Structure 1
């Protein structure tokens, strides 16, 4: 299993490139994000797939809490930072391409699948950006507590979801920033993560500090389609597999990454225990079936194929 150590930096987010299956970006912070700076690592898998190699390391003056690759600009990635900035970098360039400033607190989620970029912050807002002009196009206000994740729908470019410490899942249309299109009380706890199904157009999953993962049919939000229990602590990341619609992965504060197959019931298919601290970042490789990357506060990045899916 390829493993990479980020010395003195605690892993917050890992993402496979959208166009290069062997390239990853990892967002990290010093001192568990409480103080100090942040580092963005660009990594590559060796040709035989056995080793993770550092391609570039970029420093920022505050912690980096999320990273996303651009869906339109080759080799560009954006990070959310503790000083409220969204920083756009490109592999091979030493200086940022853009620094987007409008948030007044930590940016803990970024998403950039098409030309516009989405950022979510502890200031309780979500912002829509044109990275080329560095313009903030809209600010979405509706959550009463910090927003942990905001993610565009892969099926409807003008739609995104957000989840917050207020326990709510909210659906938004980019053209209507004044109010959400739909609201559901998703958990009786903080909602830390959400993810859209890549194949089921109306399916979305949420994960909370209650250790639960819930699936939602956006056509009928009165009750969840499913509830998965298996994590012993908060679920920090949840993500549908891009290759199999019934497969879900989650990373938890109980130091595990777990895999579920909805076709086989609500118990985890596999529990992976290779971190000694919170598992914070998680991503499926969209270009290589069943390959997963995770990262944690133990400064380790792993790339692996779950044994249950091999």
Structure 2
């Protein structure tokens, strides 16, 4: 029976199967089926039905079955009522039941015969005990107490005759010596959830364990237990079996969800080496026929299959060889197949051409090329954290700007540049300033930025009345005015500023009023204008001090031919008494307000495009009600806020993220801290969530999962439990216990952590 896959259907699902010592017969056992089949060349042939007789009680309902490895006529089953039943196929009567052991108090999960002593049988039960039966005296000669809730699997070690291993629902593995039943000689925690199966490697000291945590772990137990390999599956694992003559291959079947039987190469932990998909429901057992090319399996779909390895699918050959990954720093890694047409070395080309066939059992390493692209992130995590913790996001806007400017400067991120960073190109391109004609006698046809760009403010700035005179020394007040921060204009473009006070900050948001000047901007024409609050345009005499007395006075303005005697309201002539005319303002334009909205919109989008979402989100929040004037979509604002909250979560800045959520004006963001606040515990019996109460299951109506480990009463209030061993109880009781103890109060041996 080695040429093709064969199937047979039964009247009920089987929970387990076992092969005899020469692999010519197989026995399947379940709640309603208990049969033996002979394995022929192309079919199954039923040879014996053990579920016969007048009294079909629970002794015939089997969780597990084992075939004696020496005496081919001896079978043993683990019954759901706690009995261990021994069957003798050589009995002449119709019923083959030999003896029933009723030593266990709860369901028996596993039975296993000794490798060399045919009369020794060991069992593991839900009552947390293991019993060794001697078939000669027909009684349990030894009892082993695991101090756990239940033992799910027991297996004799093929390399040490007196050693067996037991796995429990609390994730622990225990090694026992048959000669010392008082205590195990080795114990360790293997999984974070219940362990359902284990299997010794036939050649080495490896022990494989399968758990509800969706992993298969391979432990080397030669000395101190060490986990050498870990396989990650898509569902809880119920059965595992090492593949004969293949050191690194192991078969597994899931407990739920997955209907496939997978054969894993433990060196490739995520993709099965081979997969068998014939079953339509979850498999319940698997057994190899002594060779690596065929095995048998049972399932809840009431079928028994004989699988041939050549019919398996190879998931690794269908896996996508391309992938992309992004780390928190912004680096991108990209993996792809090796292109044969691309330049490569002879060794690489040989590896590409020499591919393994689909039927080859040898492990073949996948070949691919990975490219890594590093992206310069605008903010390092250190500066990001400093800004996130230090930024002020609510209050007066001027105070927010001044405070956040200091924070950003200290963190290495400049939000408020000094005047030395403002160039003439910034002024021309950003503000689009128009020329203000000032009749000051300066040659406007040949302006010089290098000579004329000096701040002009106040009333103490001195200039030469005529060229060629002695140089004048600037006053202290003029020297101070050179530190004026703001747009710097050439002399022929400077507006006259009559106030003495200096602005408090670089930018104004309309919260304060200047005493003697209002600087207005227009968004449409780009002109910059100055409008004085009063109409007094007369300059003080000391504004232009004379170096010598002028003997010949100039004629009055009326005598000039080009001068118009009519002066309207928009024209003002400024004459200085006893001095020649120095400044003539031809027109006083009406003040127009400057709207910075479009600049703020472009700035925020610019920072967002640079992936500086921290600045974009922080400015949006700091603007308060003024953000309503921005023409930025609500969806885009929501995206910035959510990205910023996500970044804060990556750096564990939970308090800052909570502040952002609290200040958010978008409902989908402000309601984030009101979601996912309920955690439903699960029932230990049926694994369903506890909806109405945390101590009573609505499905199976049991409350055993909520028993206190100390007082053994149902916990109807707050329940504290250990995630390692799943034991717990009343908070007060657990707290009192761990004040004086370190181990679990149930005696499972786990070192619980309680805080």
Q: In 2, Cα distance between the equivalents of 1:197 and 1:284?
A: 13
From the superposition, tell whether residues 150 and 199 of structure 1 become closer, same or farther in structure 2 (CA, over 3 Å): same
8 A contact 2:8–2:305 mirrored in 1: yes
Higher strand share: 1
Separation (CA, whole Å) in 1 of partners of 2:272 and 2:224? 24
Deviation at 1:75, TM superposition (A): 2.2
Corresponding position of 1:70 = 68
Contact persistence 1:56–1:91 (CA under 8 A): no
Asked if residue 251 in structure 1 is aligned to residue 253 in structure 2, the reply is yes
Sort the Cα spacing of 1:58 and 1:189 in 2 relative to 1 into closer, same or farther, 3 A: same
Cα displacement (A) at 1:92: 5.5
Determine the structure 1 residue equivalent to 2:110: 109
Name the structure 2 match of 1:24: 26
Looking at structure 2, the residues matched to 233 and 89 of structure 1 have their Cα atoms a distance apart, in angstroms, of 35
SS in 2 for 1:259: strand
Unaligned runs of 5+ in 1: 31-38
Contact 2:219 2:227 in 1 (8 A): yes
Residue 238 (str. 1) matches residue 237 (str. 2): no
1:35 match: none
String of CA shifts for 1:160-219, please: whole Å, max 9, x gaps.
01111111111111111111111111110010000000001x211000011210000003
Q: Which has the larger radius of gyration?
A: 2
Match of 1:41 in 2: 35
Q: Is 1:148 aligned to 2:152, yes or no?
A: yes
Match of 2:57 in 1: 61
Q: Match for residue 87 of structure 1?
A: 85
Which of 199, 202, 207 matches 2:203? 199
Shift of residue 248 of structure 1?
A: 0.4
Task: Determine if contact 1:291/1:306 at 8 Å carries over to the other structure.
Answer: yes
Q: Deviations over 1:213-241 (max 9, x none)?
A: 000000344541100013x2211111112
Taking the aligned partners of 2:231 and 2:223, their CA distance within structure 1 comes to 19
Native 8 Å contact 1:204 1:216 kept in 2: yes
Q: Distance in 1 between matches of 2:222 and 2:70?
A: 30
Q: 2:128 & 2:272 partners in 1: Cα distance?
A: 33
Give 2:309's aligned residue. Answer: 306
Query: Normalized against structure 2, the TM-score is what?
Result: 0.38
3-state SS of 1:302 partner = strand
SS in 2 for 1:198: coil
Q: Tell me if the contact between 1:143 and 1:166 (Cα under 8 Å) persists in the aligned partners.
A: no
Deviation at 1:16, TM superposition (A): 1.4
The whole-number CA distance in structure 2 between the counterparts of 1:109 and 1:290 is 27
Q: 1:77 and 1:15 mapped to 2: Cα distance?
A: 9
Higher relative contact order (CA 8 A, sep 6+): 1
Give the drift of 1:265. 5.5
Paired with 1:186 and 1:141, the residues of 2 have a C-alpha distance of 19
2:265 aligned to which of 261, 264, 272: 261
Equivalent position of 1:185 in the other structure: 189
| 1:277-296 aligned within 5 A | 277-286=281-290, 288-296=291-299
Give how far 1:263 is off.
Answer: 4.9
Cα distance between partner residues in 1 of 2:269 and 2:213:
20
Structure ranking higher in helix proportion: 2
- Note if contact 1:291-1:303 (Cα within 8 Å) is conserved in structure 2: yes
CA contact (8 A) 1:197 1:242 kept: no
Which residue number corresponds to residue 172 of structure 1? 176
Whether the 8 Å CA contact 1:237–1:281 is kept in 2: the answer is yes
> Distance in 2 between the 1:212 and 1:276 partners?
23
Taking the aligned partners of 2:15 and 2:264, their CA distance within structure 1 comes to 22
CA distance in 2, matches of 1:52, 1:260: 27
**CA distance, structure 1, for counterparts of residue 180 and residue 132 of structure 2:** 12
Q: 2:473 corresponds to which residue?
A: none
Conservation of the 8 A alpha-carbon contact between 1:11 and 1:27: yes
Deviation at 1:88, TM superposition (A): 1.4
SS at match of 1:10: coil
Distance 1:129 1:72 in 2: 16
Once the two structures are TM-superposed, the CA of residue 77 in structure 1 deviates from its matched residue by 1.1
Q: Is the 8 A contact 2:261 2:276 kept in 1?
A: yes
Contact 2:129–2:151 (Cα < 8 Å) also in 1: yes
In structure 1, distance between residues paired with 2:136 and 2:72? 14
Maintained 8 Å contact 1:143/1:164: no
* Aligned counterparts of 1:210 and 1:53: Cα–Cα separation in 2: 39
Check whether the contact 2:263–2:275 (CA below 8 A) recurs between aligned residues.
yes
| 2:227 paired residue number | 224
Q: Distance in 2 between matches of 1:71 and 1:222?
A: 28
Q: 1:276-303: CA deviations, max 9, x gaps?
A: 22211111122x4432111111111111
What is the aligned partner in structure 1 of residue 469 from structure 2?
none
Q: Which residue of 2 aligns with 1:158?
A: 162
Is the CA contact 2:20–2:69 (under 8 Å) kept in the aligned structure 1? no
Instruction: Give, in angstroms, the shift of residue 65 of structure 1.
Output: 0.8
SS of residue in 2 equivalent to 1:175: coil
Contact 1:199–1:242, Cα closer than 8 Å, also in 2:
no
For the aligned residue pairs, the C-alpha RMSD in angstroms reads 1.8
Of residues 246-255 and 88-97 in structure 1, the stretch that sits farther from structure 2 once superposed is 88-97
Q: d(CA) in 2 for partners of 1:263 and 1:166?
A: 27
User: C-alpha displacement at 1:268, in angstroms?
Assistant: 0.9
TM-superposed deviation, 1:14: 1.1
